[in-house]
Chains A and B, each alone.
Chain A
Amino acid sequence: MRRLAVFPLFVVLMAPSCLPSTPDQSAWRAAAIRSVEDVASSVATVEWGIEHDDDLFGRYLRSLVVHAEESADSSQQKLSSLQPPGAAEAIYDSATGTLSDATSVVADARIAVVEGDDAAYPGLAHRLDQIGDRLDALEQQLRAMPTGDHD
C-alpha cells in the first residue's frame, strides 16, 4: 500500500524539475546581470589576448581563447534556459540576442586563433570591442530595470 502511494508523490516532486525554472523578476535580473558580466569578461579576455598576441605563446593564447569561449557559451545557455517573468520578456529577447552575438564573435576569434590567422586579428579585435560596448549597454539596461518587488 505504501509503495503505491510513493509513485504519485514521486511524480509530484519531480514535476517541477521537468519544467524550465521560472524565477521571479529580481532573481531573473540578477541571473541576467551575472550572465552578461561573465560573457563580457570572456569577450574582454579574448580581445586582450588577440591584441597582445606578441606577449603570449601560441599555445597559451589558444588555451585562453578556448576557455573563454567555453565559459561564454555556458553563461549564455544558462540565461536562455531561464523562463523570463512577464515583465522581463521584452528585455529577454534583446538580452539573449546580444549574448548570442557575443558568443559567435568569440567563436570566430577562436577559429582564427586556432588556425593561426593573424591577419584577421585586427578585424576581430574591433568586432570584440564593439560587442563589448553592446554588452556594457545591456548591463546598464538590466541594472536600471525595476527589481519588481511590488509586483
Chain B
Amino acid sequence: MGRFLNVALGVLTAVGGFVDIGDLVTNAQVGARFGMSLAWATVLGVIGICLFAEMSGRIAAVSGRATFDLVRERLGPTMGLLNLLGSLGVSLLTYVAEIGGVALSVQLICGVSYLLLFPIFGVFVWLVLWRAKFSLIENVFGILGLALMVFVVSAFQLGPDWSHLGHEAITFAKPVQENWSTWCYYAVALFGAAMTPFEVFFFSSGGVEDGWSDKDLPVMRSNVALGFPLGGMLSLSIAACAATVLMPLGVSVDSLDQVGIPVAAALGRVGLAIALLGFVAATFGAACETGLSVGYAVGQYFGWQWGKYVRAAVAARFHIVIALSTLVALGVLATTIDPVTVTEMSVVFSAVALPLTYFPILVVANDPDYMAEHVNGRLMNVLSSLFLVLVVVAAVAAIPLMIWTHLGA
C-alpha cells in the first residue's frame, strides 16, 4: 500500500509540476493562433523529456551523481564552464519569468499590480528555498498544480468539434494567414517549453536529494512514464481551450489573463478560481525548481556541497548562490520588463541550451563504469540518438527563427 501511495504521489507531483509559465503562455498563444496544428511539437517535446528524465533519473539513482556533476566530468572543465554559463543564463532567464509569473497570477487574484508583488514573492521563493524541506517543495506545489486539470475539464465542457481538432493536429493544418516561418518558430518554442533543461537538472538532483538507489528505479520510471505524458496532456488541453474559444474571437495571447478566458467561458467563476490557484501553484513551484537548479548547476560544477538534504550551514555556498540569483532575477524584473516577453524568450533560449544538457546525459547513461548493468538498452539508444539530432536541429534553428519572425510576431 505504501508503495502504491509513493508511486501515486510521484505521478501526481510530476503531472502538477509539469506545467510552468512557459507552457501556460506558449500553449495558449499557439492554440489561439495556430489551433492544434502544432500539437505534434508538444508531443515530441513530451517524449523527449520522458527519455532524458528517465536517463538522468537512472544515472542519479545508480551512481548517486546528478546531471551537472557529470557535465563537467565528461566534457572537461572548459566545455563544462561554457556549458555552465549557457545553462545558468537560461535558468536565470526562466527564474525571472517564473517569479514574474507568480506576481502576475497573484495580481489576477487580488488586483494589486505585479510590480509591487514581485519583490514580495521573490523573497518568499528564496525563503522557501532556504528553509523549507525538499519534500515539501516537491510535493505541495506539485499537488496544488493539479488545479490546472481544470483546463482538461474545460476543454470537454466547451464541446469543441473533436474530429476537427484532431484533423488539424494530424495534418499540421497551419492557418492560411500565418507564415511557415512563424509556424516553425512556435514549434521550436513549444519544444523548448516542454523540454526545459532545468527540469532535468532538478529531476536528477532531486533524485540525489531523495537518496534514490537501484531499488527506486521502478518508482522513478512510473513517475516519468505516467506523470510527464499526463502533464503533456495538460499542455495540449490549454492549447485546445485556446483554439476553441480564443481563435474564433481573433484574440492572440499576450498576457496571462487571456489564458484563463476559456476556463471562465466553460466553467464560470468556480473554474476561473481553480485555474488561478493552478497558475500560482505552477509558477511558484517552477520558480522554486529553477532557483534550486541554479544552485545545483554551480555547486555541481565546482564540487561544493549542494542540496537541501543537508542543513543550510553545511551547504553555505549553495544557498548563497540561490540568494544572489534571486537578487539578480528581482533586479531584472525591476526594469519593468514584461514577464510574458521574458517567458517567450526563455522558452526559445531553452531550446538553444538543450544539447548542452542532453549530450552528456546520453553519454554517461551508456557508461558501464557509472551504470553497471543499468546502461541504456538498444531501443533507448536509438530513440535518444534520434532525439539528440532533433534537439540539435531545434537549437540551431531557434535564434535565426526568433530574429527572422521578430519573436513570433
Direct contact of A and B (CB under 8 A): yes
Q: Which residues of A contact B (CB under 8 A)?
A: 34, 37-38, 40-41, 44-45, 48-49, 52, 54-60, 62-64, 67-68, 71, 143
Q: A63 to chain B: which residues have CB within 8 Å?
A: 107-108, 111, 255, 257
Q: B254 to chain A: which residues have CB within 8 Å?
A: 38, 41, 67, 71
How many residue pairs bridge A and B at CB < 8 Å?
65
B280 on the A face (CB < 8 A): no
Contact B272 A45 (CB under 8 A): no
Q: How far is the CA of A98 from the CA of B177 in the complex (A)?
A: 22
- Interface centre among A44, A52, A143, by most B CB within 10 Å? A44
Contact A67 B257 (CB under 8 A): yes
Interface residue stretch chosen among B17-25, B45-53, B260-268, B345-353: B260-268
Q: B258 to chain A: which residues have CB within 8 Å?
A: 45, 64
Contact A56 B269 (CB under 8 A): yes
Contact B268 A55 (CB under 8 A): yes
Contact B257 A60 (CB under 8 A): yes
Q: A34-B409, A60-B272, A67-B257 are in contact. Are A55 and B264 (CB under 8 A)?
A: yes
Contact B249 A64 (CB under 8 A): no
Q: How far is the CA of A41 from the CA of B251 in the complex (A)?
A: 4
Please, which residue of chain A has its CB at the minimum distance from the CB of B270? A55
B252 on the A face (CB < 8 A): yes
User: Closest CB of chain A to B148's CB: distance in Å?
Assistant: 17
Please, which residue of chain B has its CB at the minimum distance from the CB of A46? B251
Q: How far is the CA of A141 from the CA of B311 in the complex (A)?
A: 66
Q: A56 to chain B: which residues have CB within 8 Å?
A: 264, 269, 272
A-B contact pairs, 7 of them (CB 8 A): A48-B251, A55-B269, A60-B109, A63-B111, A67-B255, A68-B255, A71-B254
B5 on the A face (CB < 8 A): no
Q: How far is the CA of A68 from the CA of B261 in the complex (A)?
A: 13
User: Closest CB of chain A to B27's CB: distance in Å?
Assistant: 17
B379 on the A face (CB < 8 A): no
B250 on the A face (CB < 8 A): yes
Contact A45 B251 (CB under 8 A): yes
The 3 closest A-B pairs by CB, nearest first: A59-B111, A67-B255, A55-B264
Q: How far is the CA of A40 from the CA of B177 in the complex (A)?
A: 15
Contact A38 B257 (CB under 8 A): no
Q: B264 to chain A: which residues have CB within 8 Å?
A: 52, 55-56, 60
Q: Which residues of B contact A (CB under 8 A)?
A: 107-111, 177, 249-252, 254-255, 257-258, 260-261, 264-265, 268-269, 272-273, 276, 409
Contact A48 B249 (CB under 8 A): yes
User: Closest CB of chain A to B240's CB: distance in Å?
Assistant: 18
Q: How far is the CA of A48 from the CA of B409 in the complex (A)?
A: 23
Q: A54 to chain B: which residues have CB within 8 Å?
A: 268-269
Q: How far is the CA of A64 from the CA of B104 in the complex (A)?
A: 11
Q: B109 to chain A: which residues have CB within 8 Å?
A: 59-60
Contact of B108 among A34, A49, A60, A68 (CB under 8 A): A60
Q: How far is the CA of A144 from the CA of B111 in the complex (A)?
A: 42
Q: B111 to chain A: which residues have CB within 8 Å?
A: 58-59, 62-63
Q: How far is the CA of A117 from the CA of B272 in the complex (A)?
A: 22
Q: A59 to chain B: which residues have CB within 8 Å?
A: 108-111
Please, which residue of chain A has its CB at the minimum distance from the CB of B266? A55
User: Closest CB of chain B to A129's CB: distance in Å?
Assistant: 11
Contact A57 B272 (CB under 8 A): yes
Contact B107 A44 (CB under 8 A): no
Q: How far is the CA of A67 from the CA of B273 in the complex (A)?
A: 19
Contact of A60 among B177, B249, B252, B260 (CB under 8 A): B260
User: Closest CB of chain B to A43's CB: distance in Å?
Assistant: 9
Q: How far is the CA of A93 from the CA of B356 in the complex (A)?
A: 51
User: Closest CB of chain B to A69's CB: distance in Å?
Assistant: 11
Please, which residue of chain B has its CB at the minimum distance from the CB of A33? B177
Q: B276 to chain A: which residues have CB within 8 Å?
A: 60
Q: A38 to chain B: which residues have CB within 8 Å?
A: 252, 254
Q: How far is the CA of A55 from the CA of B257 in the complex (A)?
A: 13
Q: How far is the CA of A56 from the CA of B254 in the complex (A)?
A: 19
User: With A58-B111, A71-B254 given, can you name 11 additional A-B contacts, CB distance below 8 Å?
Assistant: A34-B409, A40-B250, A44-B251, A45-B251, A48-B261, A52-B265, A54-B268, A60-B109, A60-B264, A63-B107, A67-B255
